[in-house]
Structure 1
Amino acid sequence: MTTSDNAPESGPQAENVPHNYSESSIKVLEGLEAVRKRPGMYIGDTTSRGLHHLVYEISDNSIDEHMAGRCSHIQVKLYSDGSVSIADDGSGIPVGPYSHSNPQLNGKPTVEIVMTVLHAGGKFDHDSYKVSGGLHGVGASVVNALSEWVEVEIARDGKLYAISFERGIVSEKLHVIGERHKTGTKVQFKPDPDMFPDTEYKYDILQARLRELAYLNPGLTITIEDERDGKSESFCYPEGIAAFIKNINEGKNLIHEEPVYFRVEDEALNLVVEVAMQYNDSYNENILTFCNNINTIEGGTHLSGFKTAMTRSLNTYARNNNLVKGDSVPTGDDLREGMVAIVSVKVQEPQFEGQTKTKLGNAEVESFVNSSVGQKLASWLEEHPADGKKICQKGVMAAQAREAA
């Protein structure tokens, strides 16, 4: 592993973002026992899915830095020795001495605590991160526990630091290896073959998720590079999920050219909803939902709020424009024929339910999404009457076909 060529460099910093990510931001909830005994409790399983989840646990930390306005570029690199690195230009994991009532933790470098204590991280401190991604949220310490070795480089406070671990235990203490006036973190690790039957990373699996993350975080550049065969790609989508919709609908016959897009933020509730939708001439609906960048494949309150508002707004517009004939009122299913939509919410305290913990349960999200989508979609329909009529007419025809069947 090189220490200077690949060291993270910082990008543009957003204005008016919290800069109080420091040693005091790190909250310790419990120790790092039993991870190697019961890895499935922490990463789901030790199949290929769990193996790739290790990368996401580290990249999620970088995404959190981006959402806090402190990171603009993430680089993922696959090495021929089976290791992988994730580097960002965020503010760098704090390195100063950690203050804690437990004498075993007190005074240790904060990065060592982050890497060796379960649930020790800035994600649990809302002053550092308003919103945090990651389904399991166990972060770097679990990756450390399940890796043969981990090397961390941190650029912060004008210096470049390094610390190393073997199977979760410090093998080389934190030390300065040079000067660096930019900031960032690089974590390189090799999954432990004692924990994972298959330790080979698949480029295509990582590429698909990293591309998805780039769509969900407009303006963030994510690069993936594979040393094994020389492949590399870079993703950045200033249009965000609107570009995601265009990609899904590529090659299809569209009902309207430009996707519907809007974003609503409620600072008091710490909630954000982003919606993009576009119709094609098919009979299928395709709705993708996300909460804090997690694909909520079982849906949840954000999906139900979206569906309710969409049905209400389109039916109101259809009635007001005399598009509904007789008693043939389109149902939600009728109005979603041919619709491709993405609903992405950012929630400070997400509650996940369901078999795979991928169903959002927060009640306040449903009413927020319902009212936000209702208002924004009604405005869009008024501003785009030709497209609005085409969308509603497709739903009316679906209702008539259903009733005639």
Structure 2
Amino acid sequence: MLGGGVPRDGRRSLSGGFPGVGLVVVNALSSRLTAETRRDGTRRTLEYARGVRVAAPDRTGPADGSGTVITFWPDAEIFETLTFSFDTLADHFRELAFLNRDFDITLTDDRDPGAPRTDRFRFPGGARDWIAQRSTAPHPDVLGFERECAGMEGTVEVALCWGDSGDERVACYANSRPTPGGTHELGFRDGLAAALTAWAREQQRLTPADPDLGPTRLGAGLTAVVSVKLDHPEFEGAVRDRLGNAPVRTCVAEAVQEHLTTWLRADPVRAAAVLARIPVTSRD
């Protein structure tokens, strides 16, 4: 049984950019699906077989509280294996909980009555909690912020830190959907470069003749999450996996530049440690 995550306010959350499509796809790929709703003291059940409604909604009894339970059986004529992986589902639920701090998600596996498994996922710190867990530093100094931006009709949440590893790990999401690139990632790198270039010039690590720091020189040891939640997301590419909303780039860049500049100026020692990781004398 999959426990549902319910937001405690009306904020943008789990939509992947195609409202309602998720359940439609599950229904089409299931040999049977039932939807049980509880509302106004009444329980009603609706049943589908291979995407086709079997009968009109049926009142099945009284109910306490409100909510919806979806139960489905994958179609053996479509899938080669019908076994669910608890670990795979747990990884996905954990990711959703990090990206949506107001969610409380529970995953329960009752397939083995002698050894049931249950995991609960809730991270009030949002992306900051994720970075703190993923960073290679023993006590990572995480910058995290969330901002509403009318220009892109949505919100942006960013968390980042620099660790001891030389690798770069930047994960980007649009409406909680993993996106390997797009305008939110470009904006993040623009803001990062602008803030660090300005700080390097203030500290005379760059001369007037030196070019600005380019994004390719800022990733060593960087771990970051960039998450935008949009009212009207636009996805591009052959598999629609890149975010295309043009205003997102400007909004994210401005937010990252402002917050990172404040973060650097608040602690010159910390700022110096960040600049020390960047090869400011090399050319892109």
TM-score (norm 1): 0.63
Task: Name the amino acid aligned to 1:304.
Answer: L
1:162 aligned onto 2:45 = yes
Partner of 1:149: 32
1:239 aligned onto 2:180 = no
**1:143 & 1:237 partners in 2: Cα distance?**
27
3-state SS in 1 of match to 2:56: strand
1:319 aligned onto 2:201 = yes
Aligned-residue CA RMSD in angstroms? 2.5
Partner of 1:174: 57
Asked if structure 2 preserves the Cα contact closer than 8 Å seen for 1:318 and 1:389, the reply is no
1:296 aligned onto 2:179 = yes
Percent identity reads 30
**2:197 & 2:280 partners in 1: Cα distance?**
12
Asked if structure 1 preserves the Cα contact closer than 8 Å seen for 2:17 and 2:233, the reply is no
1:130–1:335 Cα change, 3 Å: closer
Task: Name the amino acid aligned to 1:314.
Answer: L
Unmatched 5+ residue regions in structure 1? Answer: 1-5, 7-54, 71-128
**2:164 & 2:261 partners in 1: Cα distance?**
22
Q: Which residue of 196, 218, 233 maps to 2:101?
A: 218
Q: Which residue of 225, 235, 248 maps to 2:134?
A: 248
| Deviation (angstroms), 1:387 | 1.3
Q: Which residue of 134, 153, 156 maps to 2:16?
A: 134
Considering Cα pairs closer than 8 Å and 6+ residues apart, tell me whether 1 or 2 has the greater RCO.
Answer: 2
Aligned residues: 278
Asked if structure 2 preserves the Cα contact closer than 8 Å seen for 1:279 and 1:340, the reply is yes
3-state SS in 1 of match to 2:57: strand
Cα distance per residue 1:8-34 (max 9 Å; x no partner): xxxxxxxxxxxxxxxxxxxxxxxxxxx
1:193–1:266 Cα change, 3 Å: same
1:377 aligned onto 2:263 = no
**1:130 & 1:232 partners in 2: Cα distance?**
27
Unmatched 5+ residue regions in structure 2? Answer: none
**Higher mean C-alpha deviation, range 162-171 or range 332-341:** 162-171
Cα distance per residue 1:53-88 (max 9 Å; x no partner): xx9xxx9xx66x638x26xxxxxxxxxxxxxxxxxx
1:132–1:281 Cα change, 3 Å: closer
3-state SS in 2 of match to 1:173: coil
Q: Which residue of 323, 339, 342 maps to 2:222?
A: 339
1:181–1:267 Cα change, 3 Å: farther
Cα distance per residue 1:300-341 (max 9 Å; x no partner): 001111101101101111211233478486432222211001
3-state SS in 1 of match to 2:54: strand
1:131–1:277 Cα change, 3 Å: closer
| Deviation (angstroms), 1:206 | 1.1
Partner of 2:187: 305
1:1-400 equivalences in 2 (<5 Å)? 66=7, 69=9, 133-134=15-16, 137=19, 138-229=21-112, 230-249=116-135, 252-253=136-137, 257-267=140-150, 269-297=152-180, 299-324=181-206, 327=210, 330-395=213-278, 398-400=279-281
| Deviation (angstroms), 1:147 | 1.1
| Deviation (angstroms), 1:236 | 0.3
3-state SS in 2 of match to 1:149: strand
1:306–1:315 Cα change, 3 Å: same
**2:164 & 2:25 partners in 1: Cα distance?**
46
Asked if structure 2 preserves the Cα contact closer than 8 Å seen for 1:155 and 1:161, the reply is yes
**1:329 & 1:136 partners in 2: Cα distance?**
39
Task: Name the amino acid aligned to 1:234.
Answer: R
1:382–1:189 Cα change, 3 Å: same
